[in-house]
Amino acid sequence: MRDAPFPQADLPRLPPAAAPQLSIVIPVLNEEGNIAPLVERLDAVLSGIAWEAIFVDDDSTDGTRAAIAAIGAGDPRVRLLHRIGRRGLASAFIEGAQASLAPFVAALDGDLQHDETLLPRMLASLRDDGYELAIGSRYVGGGGLGDWDRRRAGMSSFATKLSRIVLRAPLTDPMSGFFMIRRATFEQAVRNLSAMGFKILLDIVASLPAPPRLIELPYEFRSRTAGESKLDAGVLRDFVLLIADKLVGHIVPVRFLLFAGVGALGIAGHLIVLRLCLTLFALAFPTAQAIATAVAIVGNFVLNNVFTFRENRLRGWGFVRGLLSFTAICSVGAVGNIGVSAFLFGPSVQSAWWLAGLAGAVMSLVWNYAVSSVITWRRA
């Protein structure tokens, strides 16, 4: 039998629990084995502090949410934000922080690689010493990279140097994903965030109107004992996009720039294939041009699928359907392109041939981008 929807009158009145002073936002993706040990460690290290942990899970396929729910059922300090059809460490942190009301918010990995024993010192720096941002750094005295190999260490140090282009604050470790920030400071950045990829600290600092008062605390990056790293070839692309978005994102969307770059590559590929077909295989021009066009469309589709719309990458049947819709959209774009440029070149406007040609090409580029991003690579 079902009860009335809101049987509140029958519930006992409980005193409200203390509101959390510190929210620890923990992005997780398939970290089943790390949840319980992490909460135990937080509980041990944060005694005397009103804290909560907000796990932000991007639809893990293992038992991550079940592990969180099992603890949360008996511990109101443990919360879950379950996102579907979304991905990304940076946006996970942002949404977790926005779901919290605490005056201090920390970012912590859910795989035990960050040193949670630093949290009380971070909190003291913000609450008692007036800092706005406390960062766990691997590059100040006493910190370290743990078991990272030379390749990964080299990549991290290269990215750190690259980030100087957009950073106005002297951070030794802008790649760190371990920090604590005042809510008020976070609020100053939140509307300017790019929310792309992995590097949320860099994003926040580059989005603030002025460099924050910050302190760096050393820690040693631990090695992973359970689960796997989510770092793949996409993080480099995400990082470059983040930097580009910080530089020009207020003028033109960086995803559009990627799409245009892929288009330019497509034109180059088209010409190369055309030339090969004509000279090497001695095909008739219409045949050669048809082959080159097909190669350019498929090539553009594949590159856009891997780079431009990586978050919504199509696989299996989705890939085939996507290729068909992309081809259809580009065909309409080509017809519009010819129409616009013929009109501009024609008797009533009489613009220069290159201006007419360029205008047609830009028009179809904008069309192809706008329509394929909502139809071919629409978000799940």
Note whether 110 binds ligand GDD by CB under 6 A.
Answer: yes
279 interacts with, out of Mn ion, ligand GDD, none, CB within 5 to 8 A per kind: none
The closest alpha carbon to 24, from 2, 43, 48, belongs to 43
Q: Are 51 and 17 in contact (CB under 8 A)?
A: no
- d(C-alpha 304, C-alpha 313), whole Å: 9
Q: What are phi and psi of 352, to 5 degrees?
A: -60, 150
Segment interacting with ligand GDD, rule: CB under 6 A, options 26-34, 68-76, 124-132, 336-344: 26-34
With H, G, I as helix, E, B as strand and everything else as coil, classify residue 182.
strand
The amino acid present at 257, given as its one-letter code, is L
Segment interacting with ligand GDD, rule: CB under 6 A, options 11-19, 87-95, 296-304, 355-363: 87-95
CB 181 to ligand GDD: min, Å = 14
The closest alpha carbon to 373, from 298, 299, 296, 314, belongs to 314
Note whether 113 binds Mn ion by CB under 5 A.
Answer: yes
CB 32 to ligand GDD: min, Å = 10
Number of residues that bind ligand GDD (CB under 6 A): 23
176 interacts with, out of Mn ion, ligand GDD, none, CB within 5 to 8 A per kind: ligand GDD
Helices assigned H by DSSP within 211-352: 234-248, 254-279, 285-303, 316-345
- d(C-alpha 192, C-alpha 196), whole Å: 12
3-state secondary structure 13-35: CCCCCCCCCEEEEEEECCCHHHH
Half-sphere exposure of 252 (CA within 13 A, CB side): 9
The closest alpha carbon to 308, from 367, 267, 363, 262, belongs to 262
The closest alpha carbon to 186, from 205, 170, 168, belongs to 205
Note whether 27 binds ligand GDD by CB under 6 A.
Answer: yes
277 interacts with, out of ligand GDD, Mn ion, none, CB within 5 to 8 A per kind: none
Note whether 111 binds Mn ion by CB under 5 A.
Answer: yes
CB 224 to Mn ion: min, Å = 6
CB 270 to Mn ion: min, Å = 42
State whether the Cα torsion 303-308-313-314 is positive or negative: negative
Segment interacting with Mn ion, rule: CB under 5 A, options 94-102, 106-114, 151-159, 368-376: 106-114
Note whether 121 binds ligand GDD by CB under 6 A.
Answer: no
Note whether 216 binds ligand GDD by CB under 6 A.
Answer: no
Segment interacting with ligand GDD, rule: CB under 6 A, options 40-48, 171-179, 250-258, 362-370: 171-179
Note whether 111 binds ligand GDD by CB under 6 A.
Answer: yes
Neighbours of 29 (CB within 10 A): 21
110 interacts with, out of Mn ion, ligand GDD, none, CB within 5 to 8 A per kind: ligand GDD
Segment interacting with ligand GDD, rule: CB under 6 A, options 24-32, 122-130, 256-264, 372-380: 24-32
CB 235 to ligand GDD: min, Å = 8
- d(C-alpha 265, C-alpha 116), whole Å: 46
Note whether 198 binds ligand GDD by CB under 6 A.
Answer: yes
Note whether 89 binds ligand GDD by CB under 6 A.
Answer: yes
**Of 66 and 267, CB closest to ligand GDD:** 66
**Of 110 and 212, CB closest to Mn ion:** 110
Residues 6+ apart with CB under 8 A from 218: 136, 137, 138, 140, 141, 142, 143
**Of 110 and 266, CB closest to ligand GDD:** 110
The closest alpha carbon to 28, from 62, 5, 76, belongs to 62
Positions in the binding site for ligand GDD (CB under 6 A): 27-29, 31, 56-58, 87-89, 92, 109-111, 113, 156, 175-177, 198, 229-231
